[in-house]
Structure formats: structure tokens, C-alpha cells
Chains A and B, each alone.
Chain A
Amino acid sequence: MFTLSPEGQEFVKKELKRYETPYSAIIPALYRVQKEHGWVPPEAVDYLSELMQLPAAHIKEVLSFYTMFNKKPVGHLHVQVCTNISCSMNGGRELADALCKAFKVNYDEISPDKKITISRVECLGSCGTAPMMQVNDKYYENLTPETAIQKLKELGA
């Protein structure tokens, strides 16, 4: 049975009252699920629908629309490498490939030790400090494959 922690449930209930419409609490609630579980499993939709008294199909719509919600499990380090224009011009794609090679994973897959998932993503607003990667919540900028690999190793990959 999927569930949120008691604090998580409390959080969702507070969010429901925070905005002018309870629907606005869906995105924060999905974030909370991801924070507690690392991703948003499909069962979370039903669970939140019950908890928030909002239509399940609506919650699933929101979940599926936004890219920041992981629809499948990711490694402890979720590495998102920007490959949009300015990053691509500065080696973003090569950086992403190099990371996959270094950590022996394919894109969007979890490494066997569950430590890392590498994804290519669209513009993260670090165009002036390209190439860059986002590791979980944090940006790392002005990277080379070497500095990025070094950083990820420091982070435990």
C-alpha cells in the first residue's frame, strides 16, 4: 500500500488550504511524494486522490505533464545534463555521453548499484555557464567531463 509519512500527509493537508483552490496543492503534493519515495509511483495517484479528494484522472494529468516528476525510479544521484542549444555548443552532449560511459549506464536507466541515473534534459537556465548538470536539486556549472566525473565521485557515485 502506497502512503506518505504522517508529516507528508500533514504537509499535503496544509497545502490544500494554502492556495485559493485545492487543485493548486497537486504539484506540491507530487513533489512531496517524490521527496519521500524518490519518484512518483502510479499508486500515488489514487492515494493522493483519496487524501486530497480530487479526481484521480486530474492528478494523473498533472503528473504526466511535468517533466520534473520521475515516472520511474531513478538512482540516488539523478544527473540531468542540459543538451539544449548553448550547452550543446559548449560540449553538453559530449559531457552527457562521457558520464554514461564513465558510470556505465544508459540514459534514463539506474546503475546496477542504484547510485546514479543520467538524463539529457532541456534548457535549465545555465546557458552562460555551459555545459552544466543538475544533480538532484543542485546545479554544477562550467564543467568538463573530467570535473563532472570528479564531482559525481565526490557525491558518492
Chain B
Amino acid sequence: MQTKLLTEHYDKPEFQTLEGYKKYGGYSVLPKALKMDPKAIIEEVKASGLRGRGGAGFPTGTKWSFLPANGEPRYLLCNADEGEPGTFKDRLMMERAPHQLIEGMLISAFAIGSKKSYIYIRGEYNYPTECVRKAIDEAYKAGYLGKNILGSGFDHDMDVYSGAGAYICGEETGMISSLEGLKGQPKLKPPFPAVQGYLRKPTIVNNVETLAAVKYIIRDGAAAYRKYGTEKSPGTKLFSVSGNVMKPGNYEVPLGTPLKDIIFDLCGGLKPGRKLKAVIPGGSSAPVLTADEAMRATMDYECLAQMGSMLGSGAIIVIDDSNSMVDLLDVIMHFYHHESCGQCTPCREGTGWLSKIVHRIHHGRAEAKDLDLIKKVSEQMMGKTICALSDAAAMPAISFVTKFRDEFERHIERNPSRTQEEAHA
């Protein structure tokens, strides 16, 4: 069931080095790409139907085509600020195959006419950063970076920038702010980054996995890429599976693979005696699926959207019946409260409000009407802010209290602390 397109050689330690990477066909697509018309590369990527692998799922080729058609300097930024709870695939890609990313970025940069790119890596990722820095050094020495790459006349410089601990820098304009030396606060849109991004210059921000995939689209052609996945979700995708499964980890499968196959076949199912309770299919901001929904879901953009959830970053968090949904929502809400950048009022205040209500429910000082309040507050947080962090907090809140309302109500009824207070009185 695994379809190792991007991860084919990830089991070989030498794939991390330039030499090892070249041994398995590395940097063989770049020369081909440099001889192509940049527009043809964009068209190929468009035709492949590749969608952003970072979370939003926006069609990559379309994003590229928003760049203004003039000679203005433009930047390519690789988003490696992997922070969506449950996600750990970009880390793997940078550790195992940094040159794959660099080659994908060079092809993309050539396509969009960018002479400078940055890989923005979250600060906590020390080892991945080391791997990427080393690979960039190797690539410069080998002439894959710098002036007149492979005699093509194409110049490109690449650098790494380390974040310093802020989930919001995974949002593309938050990342741009951070790279500009500001607080990582998302920028107002419009203008969109393709028009005015990094330092107000046209900028394309793509996820690690997206940029790496570009290499394979150019190598094999859009049609070949489309053989994987579904009509609307072509290609393969790395899924980070965590939580209560026997074999958590990253798995590359074609989009459209049934979720139950991933959980029960690839990941070895649940611990003995445990029952599936819920699955968060796309990172902690994706609305939760009940066990029943999870058994029916296929891992593609359209099926999950139809179920009211989303594919997100491809982080599958499997929840068995040993967990309290109240407890888990408390953890999730604490996270968004901690990470809200604080610019937009509904998010700044709403994330704190939600976290406090859920915490209160968890610790037994709540009433049934608090569940309705959670829904009301969450609804008012959605679609009202500069970026989607507010929505990312609201969606799990709504889905948890809606789909697991019984459990929340039971928890409130038990009301341990009130009983305690009464006992003391």
C-alpha cells in the first residue's frame, strides 16, 4: 500500500549526502528542468494538480501563476516551520533527503525566476537544520547553487533561516514577517505574497513536501504523477501518524487511501483490547472524526472536506477509548491560546476564552450551557481574522463538543469539584 515516490530511498543513510543522493539519481532532474521553458515547468506543475502539502492545500501551479509578469526580484521561501501538532514529516524529509528538497527548490525557483530562496526551519529542529545547512554547502561546492548553475546561466542563492519558537510562523505571511526580523505576525491580505511578500517583493511560499514533489513531477511528467491519488487529489502524500497506534510514523501513500487501511494495516492497529474512539485526520486544527466516520474516510482533500474536516498537513492522530475527549480538547485549546499571535481581537481573546471554558469543564466547574457557549464563541471566531489560527482553534472546539457532546455532558454532571466543595461545606 505504501507508494514510495518521495521517500523511495529514505532508508539509505547515505541519501542524506550529496554523493549518496546522486547515487540514487539525485540532481538528474535539475539539468533537464534548466533546459525547459520556465513557463512549461509551471504548466506541468499546474497539470499535475499538485496541492500545497503544508495544510491549506492550495494548488501550487496556480499559486505560482499569481506572480506578476515583470522583472522584479522575487523570492522563493520554503516553509519548514512544521508546527501543526501531530506533524513530523518535513523533519524526516530534511533529515533524510535535504538534497531532494534543494533540487525541488532549484527547479521551482527556476520556474518562477527567483534568484534567492530561504528555507525557514523552526528553531527547535536543530538536527534537520544542520542537515540542510550541510547539504547547501555541498550543493554550492558542487555548483548546484551560486552563479551560472550547470552552465545554464541561471543564478540562485539559498540560505537557511531559523525560527525561534512560534507556531504562527507556519502561516506563510507570519513566516515572512519573522524572516523580515519582526514578530511572526501574519500580514493583511490583500496584498497576497505572490504580489507583495517578503520585503514587499513578489514571493512564493511552499511547504517542504510540495517543493520536493515538484522534482518528481518534472522527472516523470504530470500525467505520470496523476496516476497516483484521485482526480482532485493527485499524487502521493506523507502522512504522520501518531497517538494510539502500534506503529506510529511517517507513511507515504497515494491520496485517496482509506484511513482505516493506514491505521489498521500500515500502523498495526490499536493496542490490544482498545477500541477506536476518534481520529483527527489533518493535524490538531482539523475537525475530529468519530470512529465511525474514520472507518469510512479516505485520505484525500475532497472526502475529508465532505465529512466537514480537512486533510491539513496530513497528521493523523489516532485516539482510542482510553482517552477523555474533554482532556484532549483542553490540551488542544491550551495550545492555540499559547500560540495566538495576539493581533486580531477575536483570536487573541477567543482562544483564551475557549481555553478557560474547556479547562473549567475539564476540572469540574461547569454547566451544560457552557457547551453552547463554546460553540457560539467558536463560530464567531471563524472567518473573522487575518489568518486561520482563529479558525484552527475554533474547528476542533466545535467538532469535539458536537460529536462528543454526551461525554462532555457526563463530565459536567459528574462535576467533581463542586461535590468536593459541598463536602467541605
Contacts and interface: CB of A to CB of B under 8 A. Distances in A.
Contact of B88 (A18, A122, A127): A127
A83 B332 CA distance: 10
Contacts of A88: 327-328, 331
A62 B182 contact: yes
B242 A84 contact: no
B249 to A, nearest CB: 5
B248 A129 contact: yes
A140 to B, nearest CB: 12
Interface in B156-170: 159, 161-167
Nearest to A22: B181
A84 to B, nearest CB: 5
B250 interface: yes
Contacts of A65: 166, 183-184, 341
B127 A139 contact: yes
A137 interface: yes
Interface string B305-333: 00000000001010100010001100110
A147 B88 CA distance: 23
A31 B164 contact: yes
B180 interface: yes
A35 to B, nearest CB: 12
A125 B165 contact: no
Contacts of B248: 86, 127-130
Nearest to A129: B248
A9 interface: no
A31 B160 CA distance: 15
A84 B87 CA distance: 12
Q: Which of B162, B165, B332 has the most chain A CB atoms closer than 10 A to its own CB?
A: B165
A86 B127 contact: no
Interface in A39-54: none
A24 B161 contact: yes
Interface in B163-200: 163-167, 178-184, 198-199
A153 interface: no
Given A23-B182, A85-B284, A122-B339, A127 B328 contact: no
- Interface size class, chain A: 35 or more
A138 B130 CA distance: 12
A126 B128 CA distance: 12
A127 B181 contact: no
B166 A24 contact: no
Interface string B119-136: 000111111000000000
A21 B87 contact: no
A5 interface: no
A125 B91 contact: yes
B4 interface: no
Interface in A89-135: 89-90, 122-130, 134
Nearest to B73: A20
Contacts of B335: 84-85, 122-123
Contacts of B167: 122-123
Interface in A7-26: 18-26
B182 A85 contact: no
Contacts of A138: 126-127
B83 interface: yes
B332 A124 contact: no
Contact of A68 (B165, B242, B341): B165
A154 interface: no
B117 to A, nearest CB: 12
A31 B335 CA distance: 24
Nearest to B85: A123
9 contacts: A24-B181, A27-B164, A65-B183, A66-B166, A85-B328, A89-B319, A127-B86, A128-B240, A134-B124
Given A27-B181, A125-B122, A127-B87, 16 more contacts: A21-B181, A27-B162, A27-B163, A31-B164, A69-B164, A84-B331, A84-B335, A85-B328, A89-B243, A89-B328, A123-B83, A123-B87, A125-B88, A127-B315, A128-B88, A134-B124
What 10 pairs across the A-B complex have the smallest Cβ distances?
A23-B181, A66-B164, A68-B165, A127-B242, A67-B165, A86-B242, A123-B85, A128-B248, A65-B183, A24-B181
